Amino acid sequence: MKLLKYLGYLLYAAVVVSLLLWYKFPADAFSTRIEKDLNTMTPALQWVVEEIALLPPFIVPQQFLFFSRP
C-alpha cells in the first residue's frame, strides 16, 4: 500500500512540474540560446528566431526561423 502512495506522490509531482514548465516556459532565454548555438555551429550564416512557444505535448515549434548570410 505504501508503494502505491509513493507512486501517487511521484505522479502528482510530475504533473505539477510539467504544468509549471508549460505555464512558465522561458521562451526568451530558450530563443537566445538556440540562436547562439545555431550561429556557433554555422558561422557563415546568421540565424534569427522571432517566435518560439511550448505546446501541451511539450513540442517546441520554431516559427519564423530565418537565416541570412552576414
Percent of the chain with pLDDT over 90: 19
Domain assignment present for residue 2? The answer is no
Structural domain count of the chain? 1
Looking at residue 68, its pLDDT comes to 64
At which residue does the C-alpha cell 505546446 appear? Answer: 55
Looking at residue 63, its pLDDT comes to 59
Alpha helices in the chain (DSSP H): 2-23, 27-41
Looking at residue 6, its pLDDT comes to 92
| Statement: residue 54 has pLDDT above 80 | no
Domain assignment present for residue 59? The answer is yes
Looking at residue 64, its pLDDT comes to 57
Domain assignment present for residue 5? The answer is no
Domain assignment present for residue 35? The answer is yes
